[in-house]
Amino acid sequence: MTYINLAKIYISFVIFGDIYNIFMIAHLQGKLVEKTPTQVVIDCGGVGYHVNISLHTYSLLPSTDFIKLFTHLQIKEDAHTLFGFVEKSEREIFKLLLSVSGIGANIARTMLSSLDPKQITNAIASGDVVTIQSIKGIGSKTAQRVILDLKEKVLKLYDLDEVSMSQSNTNRDEALSALEVLGFVRKASERVVEKIIKDAPESSVEYIIKQALKNL
Average pLDDT, the chain: 81
Confidence (pLDDT) at 63? 85
91: in domain: no
Same-domain pairing of 111 and 173: no
User: Is 192 domain-assigned?
Assistant: yes
Cα torsion at 97, 99, 100, 102 (round to 10°)?
100
Distance of CA 59 to the CA centre of its chain: 13
Q: What CATH number should be reported for the domain holding residue 203?
A: 1.10.8.10
**Position 14 pLDDT exceeds 70:** no
CA distance 55 to 175: 27
Is the pTM higher than 0.75? The answer reads: no
Long-range own/partner contacts, residues 85-90 (CB < 8 A, 24 or more apart): 85/53, 85/54, 85/57, 86/57, 86/60, 86/61, 87/57, 87/60, 87/117, 89/117, 90/54, 90/56, 90/57, 90/117
Rounded Cα distance, 165 and 124, in Å: 9
Domain holding 16: CATH number?
Answer: 2.40.50.140
Flag whether 95 is in a domain.
no
Q: Which CATH number is 145's domain given?
A: 1.10.150.20
- Boundary (domain end) residue, out of 85, 115, 148: 85
Q: How far is CA 173 from CA 29, 140, 204, in A?
A: 42, 18, 12
The residue segments making up the domain with residue 57 are 3-85
pLDDT of residue 165: 55
33 pLDDT more than 60: yes
| Mean pLDDT for the stretch of residues 86-100 | 92
Report if residue 24 sits inside a domain: yes
